[in-house]
Amino acid sequence: MKKLLVCLLPILVCCACGLIPHSAPVLTQHDVGNDFEAPAARKPLPLRSVTVSASQVLSGLSMYYRYNAQPTERGVYAYNRWAAPPANLVEQALARLLPIVSEGKCRLDLQISDVILEINRKGLGKLLLAGQASISIDGKNPVFKSVMDVRVPLSRVEPAAEAEGLRDAIVMLADRTDGWVSGNTSIAEYCRPL
């Protein structure tokens, strides 16, 4: 009997170890930080508000990537998420980077169509922040439009680098938006406060 128990004991121990549940992987949340500040030389734009919305695919918290070799496949990181939907992250940062005039009569609406880590055949990555900016008085009937696609090269291909790339892309987007609005006399004239 003792010999039988001695023989069965290692088998029971091995079986028991297989039954113990393993801990779930840790879910990591990424954002873009909160220390955005408009350059001191940036003049307030003749806008009363800046809003950002996104396509349906970006309404959640998933972080996406795409390999160049599979251009129609959109990958999603299993254990990495945005801390808030990308449109919220972009809007909060732009609110700090683009000073506006409270009595401005125009609205700037940015519709984001994609935020994705693109990986080329050499394994190098770029963050793409793609969207369209429009200026209107009522938010429904745009008078001016501009495509605002920004690509930022990344030093690594991983979710944390994607978040850092989005941060850099937002700063570049703010610079382009400022140049588009303040450098276009038609927009300045149309949006000038009464």
Q: Which domains does the chain have, with CATH numbers?
A: 37-191 (3.40.50.10610)
- Mean pLDDT for 51-57 is 95
Q: What is the pLDDT of residues 98-134, one digit of tens each?
A: 998 878 889 999 999 999 999 999 999 999 999 999 9
pLDDT of the residue at 2: 64
Span between the terminal Cα atoms of the chain, in Å? 98
Percent of the chain with pLDDT over 90: 71
pLDDT > 70? residue 4 = no
Residue 188 pLDDT level (bands cut at 50, 70, 90): confident
Nearest 5°: phi and psi at 78? -75, -40
Rounded to whole angstroms, the Cα distance separating 69 from 109 reads 34
Nearest 5°: phi and psi at 120? -85, 180
DSSP annotation string for 27-79: PEEE---S-----TTPPPBSEEEEEEEE-GGGSSSEEEEEETTSTT--EEEEE
The three-class DSSP label of residue 1 is coil
More confidently predicted of 194 and 68: 68
Q: What is the pLDDT of residues 128-137, one digit of tens each?
A: 999 999 999 8
Prediction pTM value: 0.86
Q: Residues 6 or more apart from 64 whose CB is under 8 A from it?
A: 57, 74, 75, 76, 77, 115, 116, 117
